[in-house]
């Protein structure tokens, strides 16, 4: 399994440059109309920027929570073109920040499937990275049933990028349950793992915080998780609890339900401190092949 990355300099060499950065997980309760969702996302990005955030993330499906699984097919965009991508690029440029654009549907290999893609834009509004969700969610409990494979085409390549002084690893929602993805992203180690999500209320109540804190502790880095959080027009209820977790597993910020930002400060010195006190990453003996 290859890893799409940009080169990164060692943490010690980066401590003096922008060692602290305010980051924000933007929680939404997206509806069934794209334009209304884009307006809500713009407002949240502006709110986080006004609070000093230099890197912000939107949730999975921020642009549409349709009434049917295949509603996303109707708004799917070609890479590099379309109103959703234009809004993300413009917002990043307007506020001069790194924007992890949650997810949006990009054209897949056939008319019945799309890619659930996470695009990252730099402070100039240029696309800096794209990650396509690798693990497709399926769940069945009574009348609550989901099968993303019906409309989604899975990605195959883990993606990390250099966002200023930070190395950032990308993942999406159900990916959170697969620690091998995050281990792949930690070669070399990330400073921040980002998880746009739309966890169901059922699974989120039991597993969301547990898994986020585990990913932070085992990889000794910050985790920023931007979620859908509330009761949606389509009847679905998402768990919310967008949060930022530090390398020791401490929850620095959490928005339990409803739209709004969860903000906290990322400190490269804190990462260095944790890795020096407990050098678990250096003690690893099993590495992914490839």
The answer to whether 26 and 45 have CB atoms below 8 angstroms apart is: yes
Q: Which residues pair with 168 in a beta bridge?
A: 161, 192
Rounded Cα distance, 170 and 283, in Å: 24
The closest of 121, 60, 117 to 95, measured between CA atoms, is: 121
Query: What confidence tier does 205 reach under pLDDT thresholds 50, 70, 90?
Result: very high
Query: What confidence tier does 18 reach under pLDDT thresholds 50, 70, 90?
Result: low
The model's pLDDT over 57-71, given as tens digits with 9 standing for 90+, comes to: 999 999 999 999 889
Q: Which residues pair with 138 in a beta bridge?
A: 147
Residue extents of the structural domains in the chain: 21-282
State which CATH number among 3.60.110.10, 1.25.40.10, 3.40.710.10, 3.20.20.150 fits the domain covering 21-282. 3.60.110.10
The model's pLDDT over 23-80, given as tens digits with 9 standing for 90+, comes to: 999 999 999 999 999 999 999 999 999 999 999 999 999 999 999 988 999 999 999 9
The model's pLDDT over 165-195, given as tens digits with 9 standing for 90+, comes to: 999 999 999 999 999 999 999 999 999 999 9
The answer to whether 105 and 84 have CB atoms below 8 angstroms apart is: no
The model's pLDDT over 239-269, given as tens digits with 9 standing for 90+, comes to: 999 999 999 999 999 999 999 999 999 999 9
* Active site positions, annotated: 60, 133, 173
């Amino acid at each position: 399994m290859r890893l799409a990355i940009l080169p990164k300099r060692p943490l010690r060499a980066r401590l003096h440059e922008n060692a602290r950065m305010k980051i924000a997980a933007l929680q939404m309760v997206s509806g069934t109309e794209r334009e209304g969702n884009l307006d809500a996302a713009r407002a949240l990005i502006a709110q986080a920027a006004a609070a000093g955030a230099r890197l912000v993330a939107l949730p999975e499906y921020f642009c549409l929570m349709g009434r049917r699984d295949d509603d996303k097919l109707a708004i799917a965009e070609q890479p590099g073109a379309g109103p959703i991508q234009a809004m993300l690029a413009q917002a990043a440029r307007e506020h001069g920040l790194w924007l992890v654009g949650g997810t949006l549907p990009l054209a897949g290999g056939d008319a019945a499937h799309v890619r659930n893609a996470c695009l990252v834009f730099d402070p100039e509004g240029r696309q800096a990275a794209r990650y396509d969700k690798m693990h497709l969610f399926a769940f069945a409990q009574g009348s609550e049933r989901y099968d993303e494979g019906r409309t989604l085409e899975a990605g195959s390549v883990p993606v990390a990028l250099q966002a200023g002084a930070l190395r950032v690893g990308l993942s999406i929602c159900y990916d959170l349950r697969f620690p091998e993805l995050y281990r792949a992203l930690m070669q070399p180690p990330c400073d921040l793992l980002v998880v746009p999500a739309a966890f169901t209320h059922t699974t989120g109540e039991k597993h969301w915080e547990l898994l986020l804190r585990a990913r932070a502790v085992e990889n000794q880095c910050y985790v920023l998780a931007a979620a859908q959080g509330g009761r949606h027009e389509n009847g679905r209820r998402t768990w919310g609890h967008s949060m930022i977790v530090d390398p020791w597993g401490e929850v620095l910020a959490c928005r339990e339900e409803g739209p709004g930002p969860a903000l906290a400060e990322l400190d490269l010195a804190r990462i260095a401190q944790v890795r020096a006190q407990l050098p678990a990453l250096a003690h690893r003996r099993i590495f992914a092949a490839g």
